[in-house]
Structures are given as C-alpha cells and as structure tokens.
Amino acid sequence: MKNIKKILNYLLASALFAAVLISCNDDSSITGIKIDKEELLLAINGTATLTANLVPLSATNQMQWSSSNSSVAVVESNDKAVSSSKGAVTAKSAGTATIKVTTKSGKHIAECIVTVIDPQPELILVEGGVFTMGCTDGEGEDHEFPVHEVTLSSFKMAKYEVTQQQWEAVMGSNPSYFKGVNNPVENVSWNNAQEFIKNLNALTGKKYRLPTEAEWEYAARGGKQSKGYKYSGSDDINAVAWYTGNTSQPVGTKAPNELGIYDMSGNVFEMCNDWYGAYTEGAQTNPQGATTGTRRITRGGSHFNFGAYGCRVSYRISLQPGNSGIGIGFRLAHPEN
C-alpha cells in the first residue's frame, strides 16, 4: 500500500511539473516582447543592462538572449521562466552588434542595436617650451595681467573637444542641449567632467585629465610653432572659430591652429583643471594655478556669448565647479608618455 501511495505521489508531482513547464513555454498568451532600449551606445569595455518584458506582462515564458557579433558585444542572462528578463551587455571591440531576446520557441523577438566605439581622443604632442602667458594683444581685462614667463614640459592635448558621442559611450546619457553626435558635449560642469575622466581612465587604463590653464594657453597659442595670433590659429576669427549663432557645431569644421588642434577659439568654452587665481609677475615652471579657491578656470570662448572678444587666446572666465551651461564643454590632456 505504501509503495502504491509513493508511486501515486510521484506521478502527481511529475504531472504538476510537466504542467508548469508547458505553461512556462506556452506562447499562446504572449503577443510580443518589449525591450527597454532599441539602440545602445557603449565604449569598449563598457557594460549596460537591457530589460525585456513579455507582452502582456502577466504572461510567463523563458527568454533567451544572444548577440549577432560576439567579437563586438556579448550578452549574458540567468533569468528562468519569468515575465521580465535582464541581459547584461559587455562591449568588446569597436563595431555594431544586434542583441536579440526571444521566447524559447523563437516565435517572439525583440532587438537592440549596440554600437561600440573607442572613446579615447586623438592626441597631439605639444612639445615643451617657454612662452609669455597673459594678454599680449592690448585688449585684455585686469585678470589677464601681468604677463609673465612660463616654462612647460611636453604633454599631449586632444585634437578636438570631447564630443557628445564620446560622452554618451562612457556615461550612458547625453546632457547636451544642442544635440549632435560630433558636436562638443556641453551643459556639463567641472565636477561632471571629472566623473567622465574617472570612468574613461577606468575603461582604458590611461591617465587623461583636464589641462592646466598654462597648458591650455600654450597649446592654444600654437606651442613652439606659435605665430603670435590673436585667436587660436589665426588673426581672422572667422577662419578658426564658431563664435556667433545659436548652436554649437561639429568639432573640427573650422581651420586648426599651428599644432593641428581645432576649436580652441570658439564653439564651447573649455574647462581647465586650475582654481581661479590672479596672475603674478614672476617666471613659473609647470604652474598648477591657485592652491585653493571656489571657482575653476574656463577658456576659449563659445558660439553662445562673449563674441570674438572671448575667443582671444588669453581670455579667462571662471565658474563654480558644479555650474554648467550650454556653451561650456572641455577637451582632454594626457602626459607625454
């Protein structure tokens, strides 16, 4: 009798288990799958999580994740027989891959196109040297004086301002007001820039940073190749700068300066690492700016305000580290090695 009861209990449990499996894999109540992102931009080594929900959400079915190009991006998921499933995406190399989630039968499908980029900037070597820092064109404000001699070691400066595509690939969103993948990122603060740099360095193993104010001005003047221009690369503001108008413009669409660096006059103001401080007359070597302060240095002028006057290579403004604006962006620097 006991054996008969055991057999009956076993058969009942098996039937219930089979019913659960049939229910979990039955597509009849499902009308589709909805994925939270249809497009995704990632930096190499970056990660993101996609969420897929069955439609209607009350339905239950196993969902499976796959990548069309695992050399570009892979996806992993451990979800079992649920109405909502998460896929962890990891970017491997530059390119495009389609992340697909399907029901077990393959009857219902949702896709996300993943674009992976290398977010690192193209760098220009700025050979070290000696230059005169401060106003040399006779138009400057008091805080552009006194002019003083500065000696700098060699370093590297980004050829372009950080773009919206680079920012979004690293940070996962785009805060810019004037949208454009190749436009400079703007509407970001000095603190935001530091977070971007921290994340970029973690992804790449590099030592990117904001330039010092002295490095910025030296590079804007053309370094050892300087021809003494008023603006970065020319005395003709229209040749090198976007300085009037209502929107930012794609980087690198005006002429470069003597070093081959673009947009150091105009487009967006560029944040430097230094605290704001008054100049002194004495010669300096590799100055780092004031040791303390409440505002950070910003340079270069923008499309939005201050006109040609603000695009002069010696022009300075300062902003609190948490402040942002539609004419404020940045470019990166890196040690020589």
Which residues, in sequence order, are bridge partners of residue 317? Answer: 298
Which residues, in sequence order, are bridge partners of residue 95? Answer: 116
User: Residue 45, by phi and psi: left (phi above 0), alpha (psi -120 to 50) or beta?
Assistant: left
User: What's the one-letter identity of residue 207?
Assistant: K
Separation CA 162–CA 91 (nearest Å): 20
Pick the closest to residue 241 from 227, 228, 226, 257 (CA basis).
257
- The CATH classification number of 28-117 equals 2.60.40.1080
- Whether 28-117 and 123-335 share one fold: the answer is no
Indicate the pTM of the whole model: 0.90
Higher-pLDDT residue of 153, 306: 153
Q: What is the pLDDT of residue 28?
A: 66
Which residues, in sequence order, are bridge partners of residue 299? Answer: 270, 316
Superfamily designation of domain 123-335: paralog of FGE (formylglycine-generating enzyme) (3.90.1580.10)
Separation CA 1–CA 58 (nearest Å): 42
Q: Over range 235-253, report the average pLDDT.
A: 95
Pick the closest to residue 96 from 120, 64, 121, 71 (CA basis).
71
Residue 131 near residue 168 (C-beta atoms within 8 A): no
**Residue in this structure with the two tokens 């436009």, named with its chain if needed:** 183
Confidence of residue 29 (pLDDT cuts 50, 70, 90): confident
Portion of the chain with pLDDT greater than 70, in percent: 91
Separation CA 329–CA 161 (nearest Å): 7
pLDDT at residue 14 above 50? no
Which residues, in sequence order, are bridge partners of residue 23? Answer: none
Domain chopping of the chain, boundaries: 28-117, 123-335
List, for residues 77-129, the tens digit of each pLDDT value.
Answer: 988 768 999 999 999 999 999 999 999 888 999 999 999 999 999 999 999 99
Confidence of residue 27 (pLDDT cuts 50, 70, 90): low
